[in-house]
């Protein structure tokens, strides 16, 4: 079988985690709680990423316990015909070992009574810190029950450790199955961007009143049509000046000919996110100033892509981007050479920050801003201190993470021009970001989101059709 089509090996992941917590460790991984939206309506349920990564189990009300000897115990919702009539099928603890490969399963109703026995004799209890409201208190309660019986010979774990450490390291490198799912998610999202671009041009050609929500509807249609469960994050569909609001959401703003549209949207597929941004002319034809800025952002993205490969540092694409953008800002007159000096000065003083105020990428995986440290673990002790030129705050610079094959990150430079004295008027209110998803390989990176074109001519051709 092609390994990219094989099922995820959850048991192998659990075994790897068991090895990481030591022979007397115990790990507790709850899934996400159900969340009320308002009165009788809940938000659509979405499992906890860590829990899903270790089980593939999507029911709410469940907790996984792994012990250092390699045993996995699942607590899950008990079978209940009446609840199943209202809410749907429950696997139940009787069927869970056969279905999920765990060693034992119990009803969630006995979690509090079973946990002290599972904790007794362990040296460290591991759970994800600061991710599940109330979990710390609950663990304290279980540990209190173990301590209350020390005169009867129980042995209480002495350490509480953050499970995010070992789990984040595991999730940072995507296996063949994860990569295949992410390729497919990116492909669906690319199709959705194409659909929104074409709809924008078509509706404007037909003289319709086009709104941001019209394009958002195209994205959602394409996501769901291909089996995506939901958008991986709130879609940004920003017409004109709205593109300069970094966390803008799809709303009712007008899509006007002559203006740009920035769409940052990606679907989630089987637990994995995609994250794509395209910026395009609403009616399919770039104006001169739009094109000049767009080509600058694209050139900066190309510079970032060129340095993304195993062995490079996470920060390298950002630094490559900044160099190109800062030079372009000087060349196009966004920054006044007489005021800000040379390219080196602009980088040193961070003068480019006026128009480029975010980083060039982040890890991508089950979470859109995926887990995983951005400092190199083997060099954590090293740091240098400097004063931030803009805020004056003291910054500790640590060696950036060395990229490895199988890591997935976004490459997303942008430029956002708010009207300001001295800034050429032709660029006012233009916001551009270009974002692609990259799997790091030994020799470079695989861009999995290029199913939607990025070049000026290709975008114009696409929107004419």
**Residue positions annotated with a catalytic role:** 40, 247, 264, 275, 358, 362, 369, 412, 416, 433, 435
Residue 79 beta carbon to Mn ion: minimum distance, rounded to whole angstroms:
41
Q: Which stretch binds Mn ion (CB under 5 A): 214-222, 289-297, 312-320, 406-414?
A: 406-414
316 binds Mn ion per the rule CB under 5 A: no
Q: What whole-number distance in Å separates Cα of residue 252 and Cα of residue 443?
A: 44
Candidates 217, 215, 204, 212; CA nearest to 252 is: 212
Beta bridge partners of 402: 313
Per DSSP, the chain holds a count of helices (H) and strands (E) of: 14, 21
Q: Which of 178, 218, 222, 275 binds Mn ion (CB under 5 A)?
A: 275
Q: How large is the C-alpha radius of gyration of the chain?
A: 25
SS3 percent helix, strand, coil of the chain, rounded to 5, is 40, 20, 40
CA distance to 105, 117, 127, 159, per residue, from 123 (Å)? 23, 13, 14, 7
Contact range with Mn ion by CB under 5 A, out of 111-119, 156-164, 275-283, 377-385: 275-283
Residue 408 C-beta: closest distance to Mn ion, Å: 11
Residues, the chain: 465
Question: CB-wise, 328 or 413, nearer to Mn ion?
Answer: 413
Whose Cβ is closer to ligand GLY: residue 10's or residue 363's? 363
Closer to ligand GLY by Cβ: residue 328 or 361: 361
Q: Residue 455: which residues within 8 A CB-CB, separation 6 or more?
A: 298
Between residue 2 and residue 31, which ones bind Mn ion under the rule CB under 5 A?
Answer: none
Contact 268, 45 (CB under 8 A): no
Shortest CB 114 distance to Mn ion, Å: 41
Give CA–CA dist 19/16, Å, rounded: 5
Q: Give the residue ranges of DSSP H helices in 173-247.
A: 176-205, 212-225
In the complex, minimum distance from the CB of residue 250 to ligand GLY, in angstroms, rounded to a whole number: 12
437: contact with Mn ion by CB under 5 A: no
Minimum distance from residue 252 beta carbon to Mn ion (Å): 21
Q: Residue 426 Cβ, how far from ligand GLY at the closest point, in Å? A: 27
Residue 168 contact partner, candidates Mn ion, ligand GLY, none, CB within 5 to 8 A by sort of partner: none
Cα distance between residue 376 and residue 379, in whole Å: 5
Closer residue to Mn ion (CB): 235 or 283: 235
Q: DSSP label at 379?
A: G
Q: How far is the CB of 333 from ligand GLY (least distance, A)?
A: 28
**Of residues 48 and 275, the one with the C-beta less far from ligand GLY:** 275
Task: Provide the binding-site residues for ligand GLY, judged by CB under 6 A.
Answer: 233, 264, 275, 362, 368, 412, 435
**Binding status of residue 235 toward Mn ion by CB under 5 A:** no
**The pair of three-digit structure tokens given for residue 296, joined into one six-digit string:** 């600058």
Q: Does 274 sit near Mn ion (CB under 5 A)?
A: no
Asked if residue 436 binds Mn ion (CB under 5 A), the reply is no
Residue 233 interacting entry, from ligand GLY, Mn ion, none, C-beta within 5 to 8 Å by type: ligand GLY
CA distance 258 to 196: 17
User: For residues 366 and 266, what is the distance between their CA atoms, to the nearest angstrom?
Assistant: 12
Show the DSSP H helices in 101-208 as ranges. 111-119, 135-147, 164-172, 176-205
Residue 410 within binding range of Mn ion, rule CB under 5 A: yes
Beta carbon nearer to ligand GLY, 213 or 233? 233
User: Cβ distance 294 to 301 under 8 Å?
Assistant: no
Residue 200 interacting with Mn ion (CB under 5 A): no
Q: Which is nearer to Mn ion, 186 or 351 (by Cβ)?
A: 186
Under the criterion CB under 5 A, does residue 370 sit at the interface with Mn ion?
no
Check residue 264 for interaction with Mn ion (CB under 5 A): yes
**Residue 122 structure tokens:** 């362990």
In the complex, the residues that contact Mn ion under the rule CB under 5 A are: 264, 275, 410, 435
């Amino acid at each position: 079988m092609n390994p990219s089509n094989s099922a995820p090996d959850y048991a192998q992941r659990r075994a790897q985690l068991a090895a990481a917590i030591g022979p007397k460790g115990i790990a507790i991984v709850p899934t996400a709680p159900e969340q009320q939206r308002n009165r009788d309506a809940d938000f659509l349920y979405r499992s906890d990423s860590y829990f899903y990564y270790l089980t593939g189990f999507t029911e709410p009300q469940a907790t996984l316990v792994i012990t250092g000897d390699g045993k996995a115990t699942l607590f899950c919702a008990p079978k209940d015909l009446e609840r199943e009539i209202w809410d749907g099928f429950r696997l139940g603890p009787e069927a869970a070992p056969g279905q999920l490969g765990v060693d034992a399963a119990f009803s969630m109703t006995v979690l509090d009574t079973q946990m002290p026995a599972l904790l007794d004799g362990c040296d460290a209890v591991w759970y994800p810190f600061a991710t599940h409201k109330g979990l710390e208190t609950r663990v304290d309660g279980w540990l209190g029950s173990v301590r209350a019986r020390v005169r009867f010979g129980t042995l209480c774990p002495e350490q509480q450790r953050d499970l995010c450490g070992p789990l984040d390291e595991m999730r940072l490198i995507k296996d063949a199955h994860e990569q295949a799912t992410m390729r497919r998610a990116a492909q669906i999202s690319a199709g959705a961007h194409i659909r929104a671009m074409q709809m924008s041009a078509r509706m404007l050609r037909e003289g319709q009143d086009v709104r941001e929500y019209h394009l958002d509807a195209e994205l959602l249609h394409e996501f769901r049509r291909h089996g995506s469960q939901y958008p991986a994050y709130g879609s940004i569909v920003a017409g004109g000046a709205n593109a300069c609001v970094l966390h803008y959401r799809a709303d009712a703003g007008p899509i006007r000919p002559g203006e740009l549209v920035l769409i940052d949207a990606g679907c989630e597929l089987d637990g994995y996110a995609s994250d794509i941004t395209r910026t395009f002319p609403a009616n399919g034809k770039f104006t001169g100033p739009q094109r000049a800025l767009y080509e600058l952002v694209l050139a900066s993205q190309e510079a970032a892509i060129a340095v993304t490969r195993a062995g490079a540092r996470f920060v390298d694409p950002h630094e490559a981007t900044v160099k190109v953008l800062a030079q372009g800002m000087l060349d196009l007159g966004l920054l006044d050479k007489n005021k800000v000096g040379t390219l080196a000065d602009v980088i040193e003083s961070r003068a480019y920050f006026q128009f480029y105020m975010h980083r060039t990428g982040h890890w991508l995986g089950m979470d859109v801003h995926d887990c995983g440290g951005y400092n190199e673990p083997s060099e954590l002790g090293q740091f240098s201190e400097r004063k931030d030129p803009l805020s004056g705050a003291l910054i500790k610079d640590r060696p950036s993470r060395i990229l490895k094959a199988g890591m997935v990150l976004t490459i997303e430079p942008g430029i956002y021009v708010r009207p300001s004295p001295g800034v050429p008027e032709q660029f006012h209110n233009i916001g551009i970001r270009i974002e692609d998803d990259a799997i790091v390989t030994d020799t470079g990176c695989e861009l999995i989101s290029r199913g939607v074109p990025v070049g000026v001519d290709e975008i114009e051709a696409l929107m004419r059709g």
